[in-house]
Every structure is written in C-alpha cells, then in structure tokens.
C-alpha cells in the first residue's frame, strides 16, 4: 500500500512537470500566432532604413487571413498597412497608408514584415502586427515591436559613459589607495602608540619603584597600578 502511494505521487509529478505543459503548449500552438522575433525592439539612427519583422503561425492553417500593421501615435492607433491573405504562399495585395513603407515579407514562409525607409524621429514608437483568422472564429492576435530612433550623437554619449566609467574606476582606485594609506597610517600610529605604551609602562614601572621605595607594602601596591 505505501508503495502504491509513492507511485501515485510520482505519476502526478510526471503529469504536472512534463505532460501538462506539453499538452497546454500544443493547445497554444494550434491557435494563430503573430511573431515579431525573439528581440521585439530595434534601435536605429534617424535617416536609416529598418525592417519591422513579423511572421504568423497556425497549426490549422489560414484562409482569408486579415492582417495589418498599426502605429501607436500618442495612444491612437494609426493603420500603417493592411491586407487579406487568401492562402499561404499567395502574395497578397497590400494597401499602404503611411509614407516610406514597403511590404517586403510578401507572405513568403508566412512573412508579413515591412520596411521603413529613411526613418525620422516621428517614426519611433510601438508598432503592432495584427492578425485575424476566420478559421478561428475571428479571434484577434497581435505582437508589438518597438522602434527606437536615435541621433548619431550617440557615439559621443558612449565616450561620455566611458569617461564616467573611467572616472568611477579612478575614484575606486583612489579610494583603495586611500584605504591602504589609512591602514599604513593606522599601522604606524599603532607602532608609535605601542612605543608610547612601552614608555608608559616603563614610567609606571618607575612610579612603582618610586612607590615601592616610598611605601612600605611594595609587593601589593604595584600590581593594581599596572592594570
């Protein structure tokens, strides 16, 4: 009977740790997914051309998949482009609402990435890759990609951080030097103090002898004075 209990606990452990996540993972894969990649942000210099990556994945397949890219402009979503993908492998006609945008994914391998030409600082922000598959009762799926537009002056910022880092390093070195110096000073001072103590001891010894000479009980008096 106790062995059965152990087996039962083992079984539930295996279920909880391995089989349950596996089955739930299979469930999530079956639904449509919009994927912007493992690194969902990009830092780029103004004036450069960047790609906003996005692909879709669906186990049950797609049909008339609606997709768009949206730009979050101060809270209001602006459509960048939109299209209907009839089937996987069919290049769709994409309507573009924003300037300097090109649809480069072409639905090759479920690729719906876009290109942003000659970016300006106004292009920086959050971009949503959105998809809806009628095969899944019109459920919405999206992924967000962040574009950070920086000035070329960033290089100067780097030298500044290096300067700060070296300054901090220098400060730490100075502090360590100071600590060493302090320790050395304390060592020297303690040596001097030791000598002083010796002096005090000898002087007190002289006092004792003086006391011993002056007092009659020479043996009992010097001991409490030394302590």
Binding site for ligand NAG (CB under 6 A): 46-47, 51, 53, 55, 73-74, 100, 104-105, 109, 111, 113, 117-118, 139-140, 151
Query: Which 3 state secondary structure label does DSSP give 103?
Result: strand
Contact, 60 vs 135, CB < 8 A?
A: yes
CB of 115 to ligand NAG, least distance (A): 8
CB of 54 to ligand NAG, least distance (A): 8
The phi-psi region of residue 66 (left if phi > 0; otherwise alpha if psi is between -120 and 50; otherwise beta) is beta
What residue number has its CB nearest to ligand NAG? 47
Nearer of residues 139 and 197 to ligand NAG, judged by Cβ: 139
Nearer of residues 86 and 104 to ligand NAG, judged by Cβ: 104
Helix %, strand %, coil % of the chain (to 5): 45, 30, 25
CB of 23 to ligand NAG, least distance (A): 24
CB of 35 to ligand NAG, least distance (A): 8
CA distance 67 to 217: 109
Greatest distance between any 2 Cα atoms in the chain: 121
Nearer of residues 87 and 190 to ligand NAG, judged by Cβ: 87
Nearer of residues 1 and 153 to ligand NAG, judged by Cβ: 153
Two tokens at 173? Answer: 């070195």
DSSP state of 62: -
CB of 42 to ligand NAG, least distance (A): 13
Nearer of residues 22 and 153 to ligand NAG, judged by Cβ: 153
Integer angstrom CA distances of residue 41 from 45, 124, 133, 179: 14, 11, 25, 45
Nearer of residues 124 and 212 to ligand NAG, judged by Cβ: 124
CB of 105 to ligand NAG, least distance (A): 5
Contact, 103 vs 94, CB < 8 A?
A: yes
């Amino acid at each position: 009977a106790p062995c059965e209990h152990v087996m039962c606990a083992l079984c539930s452990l295996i279920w909880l740790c391995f089989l349950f996540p596996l089955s739930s993972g299979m469930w999530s894969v079956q639904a449509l997914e919009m994927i912007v990649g493992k690194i969902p942000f990009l830092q780029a210099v103004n004036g450069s051309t960047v790609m906003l990556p996005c692909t879709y994945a669906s186990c049950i397949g797609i049909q008339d998949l609606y997709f768009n890219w949206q730009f979050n402009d101060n809270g209001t979503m602006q459509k960048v482009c939109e299209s209907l993908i009839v089937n996987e492998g069919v290049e769709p006609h994409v309507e573009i609402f924003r300037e300097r945008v090109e649809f480069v994914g072409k639905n090759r391998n479920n690729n719906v990435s876009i290109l942003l030409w000659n970016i300006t600082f106004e292009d920086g922000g959050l971009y949503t890759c959105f998809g809806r598959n009628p095969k899944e009762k019109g459920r919405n799926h999206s992924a967000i990609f962040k574009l950070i537009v920086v000035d070329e002056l960033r290089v100067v910022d780097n030298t500044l951080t290096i300067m700060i880092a070296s300054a901090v390093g220098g400060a730490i070195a100075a502090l360590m030097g100071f600590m060493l110096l302090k320790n050395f000073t304390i060592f020297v001072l303690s040596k001097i103090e030791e000598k002083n103590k010796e002096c005090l001891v000898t002087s007190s010894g002289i006092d004792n002898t003086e006391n011993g000479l002056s007092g009659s009980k020479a043996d009992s008096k010097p001991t409490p004075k030394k302590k």
